[in-house]
Amino acid sequence: MRPDDLVAITPAGLHCAAGGFHVDPWGSADLAIITHAHADHARPVARSYLCAEACVPLLRRRLGPEASIRGVPYGERLRIGSATVSLHPAGHVLGSAQVRIEESGRVFVVSGDYKRAPDPTCAPFEVVRCDVFVTEATFGLPIYRWEEPSVVAAEIHDWWRANPGRPSVLFAYALGKAQRILAELAPLTDRPVLTHGAVESLVRLYREAGIPMLRTEPLAEAPRKRDLAGALILAPPSARATPWMRRLASAETAMASGWMRVRGPRRRQGYDRGFALSDHADWPALLRTIEETGARRVLATHGYAEELARFLGERGFEAEALATSFEGEADA
């Protein structure tokens, strides 16, 4: 980082001195601007929080009723300290935002996690012109290229239909991915989907936000004797090796994650199927986005940050990798 950067990595996280706030801090902070409600970005460490309006219910659920959370509409400019701050859609999950920070004519954009692929559950990514772009690089290698989500959704649907004699358990990140799958499947079928409790509570928040999705029913509320053959069950990956799965012992299992693009992880994790569906930008989308922001300086975080920064450096960008404590999502 350079001394004149508007944001710097501090022990508590990404900090903007001009505004006196942190973005997605992992250590204690006064004001935290939260890009989205995934656990590694929204930690209970700040006195007050600012996020996109659509993010408020999700953040509230993670941080509890006592947390001081303020939602702002996308695009609205706020004066914080000597900085002007606005939030812009990142297309990652419902309520996800990029943070635009302007001071003395310089513009920084912290992307948070983002994607460019269409997603019926959240506002599409907005290109924000800037001088310095802080980009994620979860899938910052050229082997990561996503297929059209509708193609993947059709594959998921075919897999489900081809499995009438057993339950089909699809593991997907409980916030965002699961709802995106329910929304992508909606044009293909009207059969209801059974859900794990962690998925269901977030589905309710998405429904309250008016997102159209397939009907769902919590598995826990389904009668014990109900035959689950032919049913689709959505669950977070963390439920896999738990007693919750016992009712689903005979199930065919699949995982929806960008990591499933590569055969090794697909095989090692032992799922019957892997669907490469990600809420992150793939390699072409990362390059295209960086290009479109007009930024000459790029700071990369998560995943393959080193690789992306080095590649950009060779292409004439001023680029570096930031050491952050974002875990990245193993289940991205």
Partner 1 sequence: MKRFAALYEALDRTTSTNAKVDAIAGYFSEAPPGDAAWALYFLTGRRLKRLLPSRVLWELVRDASGLPGWLLEHCYAAVGDFAEVTALLLETPAGETPELPLRTWVVDRILPLRAASAEAQRAALQEAWASLRPRERLVFNKLVTGDFRVGAAATLVLRALARVAEVEPAVVAHRVMGDWEPTAEAFTRFLSGADPASLQPYPFFLAAPLEDPVAALGDASEWLAEWKWDGIRAQALRRRGEAHLWSRGEELVTPRFPEIARKLAALPDGTVLDGEILAWRDGVLPFAVLQRRIGRLDVTPRALREAPVAFVAFDLLEEDGVDLRERPLAERRRRLESLLAGASGALLLSERVPGAEWPDWAAARGGSRGRGVEGLILKRLSSPYGAGRRRGDWWKWKIEPYTIDTVMTHAHPGHGKRASLYTDYTFSVWDGEGLAPVARAYSGLTDDEIRELDRWIRAHTLERHGPTRRVEPTQVFELGFEAIARSTRHRSGIAVRFPRILRWRRDKPAREAERIETLRAMLPPEPERPRRALQRRLPFDP
Gyration radius from the chain CA atoms: 20
Q: How far is the CB of 259 from partner 1 (least distance, A)?
A: 10
CA distance 204 to 201: 5
Measured from the CB atom, is 180 or 261 closer to partner 1? Answer: 261
21 or 271: whose CB is closer to partner 1? 271
267 Cβ contact partners less than 8 Å away, ≥ 6 residues apart: none
Q: Which is nearer to partner 1, 66 or 314 (CB)?
A: 314
Cβ atoms of residues 143 and 226 within 8 Å: no
Distance of closest approach, residue 143 Cβ to partner 1, in angstroms: 4
Q: Cβ 304 to partner 1, closest distance in Å?
A: 8
Q: Give, rounded to a whole angstrom, the gap between the first and last alpha carbons of the chain.
A: 27
Q: Cβ closer to partner 1: 91 or 274?
A: 274
Q: How far is CA 274 from CA 189, 219, 249, 257, 299, in A?
A: 21, 22, 19, 7, 31
The number of C-alpha atoms within 13 Å of 264 and in the hemisphere containing its C-beta is 0
Q: Contact residues for partner 1 (CB under 8 A)?
A: 141-145, 147, 240-246, 248-250, 253, 261-264, 266-274, 284, 304, 307, 310-311, 314
Kindly tell me which of 28 and 269 has the beta carbon lying closer to partner 1: 269
Nearest to 36 by CA among 58, 15, 18, 17: 58
Closest by CA to 289, choosing from 114, 43, 68, 70, is: 114
Q: How far is the CB of 234 from partner 1 (least distance, A)?
A: 17
Q: Which is nearer to partner 1, 189 or 242 (CB)?
A: 242
Cα–Cα distances in angstroms (integers) from residue 111 to residues 49, 100, 228, 251, 320, in the given order? 17, 8, 41, 38, 15
Nearer to partner 1, 84 or 269 (CB): 269
Taking the complex as a whole, how short is the minimal distance between the CB of residue 248 and partner 1, in angstroms? 8
H/E element holding 50? strand 46-52
Residue 214: both structure tokens together: 């397939």
Nearest distance from C-beta of residue 242 to partner 1, angstroms: 7
In angstroms, the CA 171 to CA 239 distance is 8
Q: How far is the CB of 245 from partner 1 (least distance, A)?
A: 4
Backbone angles phi, psi at 275, to 5 degrees: -115, 125
Using the minimum distance from each CB to partner 1, give the nearer residue, 9 or 245. 245
Closer by beta carbon to partner 1, 36 or else 266: 266
Secondary structure (3-state) at 99: strand
Collect all residues with Cβ–Cβ distance below 8 Å to 129 and sequence separation of at least 6.
107, 293, 294
Q: How far apart are CA 136 and CA 299, in angstroms?
A: 8
Supply the minimum distance, in Å, between the C-beta of residue 197 and partner 1: 16
Shortest CB 142 distance to partner 1, Å: 6
